[in-house]
Amino acid sequence: MVSKRPITAEDLSRIEVFSDPHFTPNGKAYTYVSTIINGKNEYESHLFFQNVNETESKQWTFGHHRNSNLTISPDGQTAVFQSNRSGLPQLWLIHTDGGEAQQLTTFKNGASNPMWSKDGKQILFSASLNSDDDIQNQKELSNEERQQAIEKKKNKPLLVNRLQYKSNDKGFHDDKRAQIISYDIEKESYSKLTTADEDHRLQDISPDGQYLLFTANLNPGADYENTTDLFLFNISTKNLSKLTDGKGIYYNARFSPSGNRISCFGHEYEYDGATLSEIFVFDLASGERTCLSDAWDIQLGDAMAGDTRLGQSVNGPIWSKYEDRLFFLATDSGATGLYQVTLERNLTVLYKDDNHVFGFAYDVNSDSFILGISTPTNPCNFYLLGKNLDLTRLTNSNAAFLEEVAIMNPETFTIQTEDDWEIQGWIIKPYGFNEDKKYPFILEIHGGPHAMYGQTFFHELQLLAAKGYVVMYTNPRGSHGYGQKFVDAVRSDYGGRDYADLMDAVDYALANYSYIDENRLGVTGGSYGGFMTNWIVGQTNRFKAAVTQRSISNWLSFYGVSDIGYFFTKWEIGYNLLENPAKLWDSSPLKYADKVETPLLILHGELDYRCPIEQGEQLFIALKHLRKDVEFVRFPGADHELSRSGNPNMRIARLKQICRWFDKYLKINE
């Protein structure tokens, strides 16, 4: 007998999400960010502090604001953080023993990502600036002035002269560039450290305070490239050294404790967008670059797909106190864990279980870690991983919510395909499961395609199970977590073996779970999962309902309208528009619209620049013109991140549309 109620779409607003753990300098406490959806339908993020030997946290910030990126000064007395309480994200200072926060920056376009110098005398941060901006006299606009500027921009033509002129996260680009700024605390003055007409991403500052690490593409042909180089900048002499060769992408770079070495993640596009990341170490004395991970076959960092992760967290690589090891997260077989590698390339798993480690912090004083962990039945908690690798829970987030709501635990399975590949997947039984009943079934397909479903909390999957559906989700070839050959296998074969993997998984479920009603099958997915949903309904009529989300339907037009289309099309399908339009059309679900018999609901954000809404429009018009059973739901103001970080009310409305469609077509016999 079920004692707890089923989860609802509205419960999305009740889930607290943790992120960004950091030890205090003395290692006796840590800080973190908690994000909720408040009663005003807004995201609200606050900073918390907790001693590692206590069970209660202390909240440091209040109000209906978003506070994040907290970093404590080396002496532990002061902290700087990012907050939008004045309107735009700006930097604020707060004493760690309490008191009101003081605003540090008033930059016109905001300030972000603060970092202390190791002596605590400087705060470095990023700011979006025009080339002639005076950084000493920056003034944040009032809400009224900001609104006037927005209206003025709406009435002005947009001149486009760059290939990369828009992106899903920023919208249409302008002439402002992200520059690195230094704030001298004693002099209360700013210094602009970078000036090139490209975006600069601050990575780290050396222990002696003399050098900066940043990433950027400073090549003359940057507009046509997807490379990101790593640079070493001498603050005193302004000398700039390029540490990489312009062939790849590098990120998460950090100085070793001595400042003699640099570590980072990166790769050189050996398999284009399907390339696994590596760990590199640069020896600054010899100039030698070493890859520590060249013998591995795992994806570094966190590639887990989910819909309840808000805020950033450290993935690594992080140096040990003796700089003989590096710590990092890695993605493997449906889970993420904490790993270490020595400079001699010896790899060790420090912690990995059937769950999702979404971030970590390392303390040099105790050689211990704070781990952020999500499980399929619990959105998040923080744990202390001691020097002896003993795990102690520090928080009890969402306790009241989990006491009230039934969360179903997925069952893992693995199938063998006809061509002898192993495909991992999960089944969630419906709420109130009765083994004597037959239940409708929904196949969920993740985006990417180079992402991974796995052992994490996923609200949408739980909601469908609560509505009475058997939910299956799998990692077909193309997914991360199973090695380089596996993740690369989907490229130039969209709708081929990846489609067969999904159908094999459905066949396996029907053969092994007698409670599934084979006559009531549904399918849904977003982005690549939306493409695959479109492809499936054009290839088979076995599904009785489908919901396609933020999808691709036409590779010919995607090439020119997506913010990544001009390179992603060739990466994934194998050709650009002018090289082989016939191949792009053959790989487009739109070509097979006349074959579609499955009732299809199309969900799309109107400001999606990754998979623009014209992709959904084309498919809707073609199907409607053919008098097919189709509906189209447009979400105003929503971009490609609607399901994960979009407007909360829109996210709930989206979930209700999905449930409405499946309820209409899959519950007709109940």
Closest CA to 202 of 235, 248, 167: 235
Per-residue pLDDT tens for 180-210? 999 999 999 999 999 999 999 999 999 999 9
Residue 134: CA count within 13 A, CB half-sphere:
4
Asked whether residue 397 carries a pLDDT value surpassing 60, the answer given is yes
Q: What is the DSSP letter of 559?
A: H
Q: In this structure, are residues 550 and 526 in contact, taking their beta carbons and an 8 Å threshold?
A: yes
**In the predicted model, what is the mean pLDDT of residues 563-587?**
97
Pure H helices in 185-298 = none
**pLDDT for the residue numbered 184:** 95
437: pLDDT strictly greater than 70: yes
Catalytic residues: 527, 640
Q: How far, in Å, CA of 524 to CA of 542, rounded?
A: 14
What are 513-546's pLDDT values in tens digits? 999 999 999 999 999 999 999 999 999 999 999 9
The pairing of beta strand 201-205 with beta strand 211-216: antiparallel
Short-list 346, 312, 348, CA closest to 330: 348
At residue 469, what is the residue type?
A: Y
**Per-residue pLDDT tens for 284-318?**
999 999 999 999 999 999 999 999 999 999 999 99
Instruction: Give all domains of the chain, ordered by start, each with its CATH number.
Output: 408-553+588-666 (3.40.50.1820)
* Bridge partners of residue 302, in order along the sequence: none
Terminal alpha carbon distance of the chain: 21
What tokens does 541 get?
A: 């009529």
Over the chain, what is the mean pLDDT? Answer: 96
The CA distance from 604 to 182, in Å, is 41
Query: Which two structure tokens, joined as six digits, stand for 659?
Result: 């449930």
Report yes or no on whether pTM surpasses 0.75.
yes
Give Dmax (Cα) for the chain.
76
Task: Count CB neighbours of 259 within 10 A.
Answer: 18
Residue 243 tokens read as: 């540490």
Q: Which tens digit of pLDDT belongs to each residue from 464-478?
A: 999 999 999 999 999
Two structure tokens written together for 178: 């992200």
